Structure 1
Amino acid sequence: MFKPTQKISLLTAFAFTISAQAQVVIAQENAPQYVVDIIEKANNESQLENMAFELLDVIGPRLVGSPEMKQASDWVIENYKNWGIETEVQPYGQWKSWQRGTSQLEMTYPRIKSLEGTQLAWNLATKKPVEAEVIAIPTFNSNSDFNNWLKTVKGKIVLVSMYQKYGRPDSQLKEHSLAGDYEMIKREKALALEQWNDNLKITGYTTNQLIEALENAGAVGIVSSFWSGELGANRIFSAKTNKIPMVDVALEDYGLLYRLASKGKHPKMKINIQSKDFGKTETFNTIATIRGTEKPNEYVLLSAHLDSWDGSQGATDNGTGTITMMEVARILKEVLPNPKRTIIIGHWDSEEQGLNGSRAYAEDNPEIMKNTVVSFNQDSGTGRIVNLSGQGYVNAYDYLGRWLDNVPSEITKDVKTTFPGTPGTGGTDNAAFIPYGVPAFNLGSQNWGYGGYTWHTNRDSYDKILFNELKRNVILTAILTYQAAQDENEISNEKRVLSLDKDGKPQEWPKPKSPNRSGDYK
């Protein structure tokens, strides 16, 4: 039998489950039927959680060129096929094919300790574990001083990131410190950064050049710690070495190694990293299409990048954008199976290396760019959509404002619009289409700590997703897309006259940029 306390616990859990299934948005009175249908399907038939599980837990991170990126594309295609939506893969170039394996990092002296950290992308595996003394970069008085030290790094593992004395985020320091202490800590941190940068200048190298010099001088390993400023979060990018291991270690363990090394305790570290290098592979975009009937050669383009960095699962960058656009397509295929305009859903490759997939699509499909009446892009986080800029198109307010009128007010009340705004030049994939005159709008999300906590970090995982927020985004995007596909009016792409730059010269509209098709990237 259950004890009374257990019964209460079960009843509470049951009540919570019922509450969690409540509708996130309720259709307003006299709403058009298609709005009612979209809201009902988003609330009661949502596929978001299952898609997130399959994409993030089963497939995992999707580094460009990796086998997981191909697996993710196949999974996207399978879903669209099940929904009766045609798909294709459009190759556009090559990239290094690399697959992450295990990273075993240990401090072996003066005591034994497992270290939290990981190999950086495209780094070679260790044929056998590398064990060596760990050294920190000292303070130099001159360039000759640095050059003399450089001769001593042979056979050593070198720490190459600035030491962080305070491992707490600034928000904690500010909230809990006495006012005078907080100002003192700020000055101390600013001085440490200044001294670090001055020391780097004495070497005559940038950080990347210094790592190359260390490798050439005989170092056997490089350890970095790219702390994001939030508890437990480090940014995980690519290795800057060619022949020796390069790993990123959590702030706490990096600080331990640094203090031991700088205080003459001669710590040792063992690095055993197992990854696979498959050479070059094909890069590609995965494209889904719901064919239009009356205006099949006019297009509404939905946009989200499928690739990610691979320090974690790539959940909020950009698994959330991917499954949002897939869910929008699934719902519209049921609510609007025969739209007037053709709806294209682009899942881009290699956004993280400079919008390569979307720029390739734009460059390779000039007729589609010419006839795309509007594009909606979703990237950067799990939060509800709260920002919408006109991107420099003079009449964007006329049609976006009209379309937003049919979105439930409980969603639009939080959306800040800026018209006509200025054209985006980078950051996410809508910027790839603006140079072609496409009214391409990024649906900006509520922050939810994205910039510091999950953007390109080891903490960008499934548990950071707020699915009710995503449901609201699905409803908003689906309603906007429905209206864009069905609007009888011509949708203007007239550009604003841009203001003068800081030198008093007229700013120019962004020009198309060609993608990196060769895969040469460090």
Structure 2
Amino acid sequence: MKYLSLIFFMSLLPQYAGKSLRRDGSHPRTFEDIKNEIAGYSDTAKAIIDLAVHGKAQNRSYERLAVFADTVGPRLSGSKNLDAAIQYMFSALQKDGLENVHLEPVKVPHWERGEEFAVMLEPRNHSIAILGLGSSVATPPEGITAEVMVVASFDELHRRAQEAKGKIVVYNQPFVTYGETVRYRSQGAVEAAKVGAVASLIRSIASFSIDSPHTGWQNYQSGVPRIPTACISVEDAEMMSRMALRGTKIVVYLKMGARTYPDSPSFNTVAEIVGNKYPEQIVLVSGHLDSWDVGQGAMDDGGGAFISWEALSLIKDLGLRPKRTLRMVLWTGEEQGGVGAEQYYQLHKENISNFDIVMESDEGTFKPSGLAFTGNAKARDIIKEIMALLLPINVTDVFDNADGTDINYWMRDGVPGASLRDDLSKYFWFHHSQGDTMTVQDPNQMNLCAAVWTVVSYVIADMEEMLPRDSKGALNK
């Protein structure tokens, strides 16, 4: 009898060659199996694209954003405008018929710029457009009048440190990339204070300018005097640099009424489509609802927030319900360093194994080119197959290194992450400036971004298995 059993088992070997049995008797899925599963979403992807780009939902994310931006305006952390924006979205998401719409409490910084202005007194009278930087202290009530010292880099500042005492340091650093150049905004006041400056004025972190200053957050350092700091336009920074190189004495009067208040109560805004098979597992799409206090915050990050809402709306409109829960989070306090996102992470990290992927759109919603992804090689191969479903709109590329202040907490702990890649050629023209308005946005480009965001999030949420990941902190970026 045992020989008959052996013969029977050996007869099965060719059928199962190269495949090991699972405990439940099933076979582990090969990549070919996964490719075939993803290919099966082709018709669904086309339906999403048709609805978003050509159908009844065409221009909807743009039109929704326009009403929101025109109604609420800029939404600085701790402001009444941000409170109004959160209540607006809470009501709108409920009216849209989404599930589990709720607000999760957080504490956010509350800084106000107050009255501010600057005037060049020598060699001529000239009004300087400024925008105080987040967390800056005020000048004394009477303001500051001081000679200017212009530098092009931190290295130059340190070489000329003996000249800086009692002066206003003006940085005229060239724009290289945002990631490299933004350190002058975030650290400029500290470095100037270390050499005895009384204030710092920083050339706006912008790749192009029409005499428009750009604001942003800056950080003081313990043990270093806190001096007032603001950004000025590229044009004024370059003008003062030319004057200084000619040996012209420059004197500036600066007055800033900035104030920092105790942290304010605020909320992350959440809505879902609950999964029909693995509701405890989460595919998270997101953008941030707060903005700076200039312009309308339409580009940064109204677009990302509203294509995330649109993803849920499109899926609902098509009558789809993925296996996993698709969760949208509109973060608060992103501009101050992801404050709301960090508190969300601390609240939910105990369930980290149930987070399939975290997605954030926070670099504009211009013409999309693909998806940036952080995850291991196996997960990346799956994402490439999903992106192939977007061939009808020619958005199929997968780039390295997802980027997003609000999702970095999760990616550091091994959760796969994705961010939208789009045409950034004009993004830093408008970033953190009065120019960030609905005029920057294009409805056709937002349609395409919404289609990409929806196809990717839905397919990942509906696949039978979660994306593969390595152990904590071991993602191959």
The TM tier, using the shorter chain, reads: 0.7 to 0.9
Offset of residue 327 of structure 1:
1.6
2:36 aligns with: none
Partner of 1:486: 462
Out of 136, 158, 170, which is 1:160 matched to?
A: 170
* 2:23 aligned partner: none
Structure 2 equivalent of residue 36 of structure 1: 47
Query: Matched residues in 1 for 2:156 and 2:447: separation?
Result: 58
Aligned ranges 1:332-371 → 2 under 5 Å: 332-336=315-319, 338-366=321-349, 368-371=351-354
- For residues 82-93 of structure 1, the aligned pairs below 5 Å read 82-85=95-98, 86-92=100-106
Corresponding residue for 2:77? 64
Amino acid at match of 1:32: D
Aligned partners of 2:209 and 2:234 also within 8 Å: no
TM (normalized to structure 2)?
0.72
Instruction: Check conservation: 1:38, 1:331, Cα contact below 8 A.
Output: no
Q: Deviations over 1:81-116 (max 9, x none)?
A: 221223222234x44312344533333455433222
Residue from 464, 472, 495 that aligns with 2:440: 464
Partner AA of 2:474 in structure 1 = W
User: How far, CA to CA, are the matches of 1:510 and 1:486 in structure 2?
Assistant: 23
**2:392 aligned partner, one-letter code:** E
Q: Show the counterpart of 1:4.
A: none
Q: CA 1:316–1:415 in structure 2 vs 1: closer, same or farther (change >3 Å)?
A: farther
Within the candidate set 403, 411, 415, 1:438 is matched to 415
Distance in structure 2 (CA, Å) of the matches to 1:356 and 1:306: 12
| Contact 1:38–1:475, Cα closer than 8 Å, also in 2 | yes
Gaps of 5+ in 1: 1-29, 171-192, 198-205, 497-506, 512-522
For 1:415, the aligned partner's letter is: T
Q: Distance in 1 between matches of 2:439 and 2:95?
A: 27
Matched, 1:410 2:431: no
Number of equivalences = 418
The amino acid of 2:455's aligned partner reads I
Counterpart residue number, 1:15:
none
Give the direction of change, closer, same or farther, for the CA distance of 1:331–1:394 in structure 2 (3 Å limit).
Answer: same
In structure 2, C-alpha distance between the alignment counterparts of 1:65 and 1:47, rounded to whole Å: 29
Give 2:103's aligned amino acid. Answer: V
2:426 is the alignment partner of 1:449: yes
Question: Letter of the aligned partner of 1:282 in structure 2?
Answer: P
Residue 126 of structure 1, CA deviation: 5.5
TM-score for the superposition, normalised by structure 1: 0.67
Counterpart CA distance in 2 for 1:275 and 1:236 is 13
- Offset of residue 33 of structure 1: 6.5
- Give distance in 1, aligned partners of 2:346 and 2:406: 13
> Aligned in 2, Cα 1:249/1:366: closer, same or farther, shift over 3 Å?
closer
Q: Which residue of 1 aligns with 2:474?
A: 509
1:315 to 293, 298, 301: 298
CA 1:373–1:95 in structure 2 vs 1: closer, same or farther (change >3 Å)?
closer
Contact 2:214 2:233 in 1 (8 A): no
Q: In structure 1, give the amino acid aligned to 2:417.
A: A
Query: How much identity, in percent, do the aligned residues show?
Result: 22
Q: Aligned pair in 2 of structure 1 residues 150, 253: CA closer, same or farther (>3 Å)?
A: closer
Contact 1:349–1:358 (CA under 8 A) maintained in structure 2: yes
Give the match's secondary structure for 1:365: helix
CA RMSD of aligned residues (A): 4.1
Residue in structure 1 matched with residue 7 of structure 2 by the alignment: none
Structure 2 residue aligned with 1:231 = 209
Deviations 1:37-65 (Å, cap 9, x if unpaired)? 66335543333233333444443343434
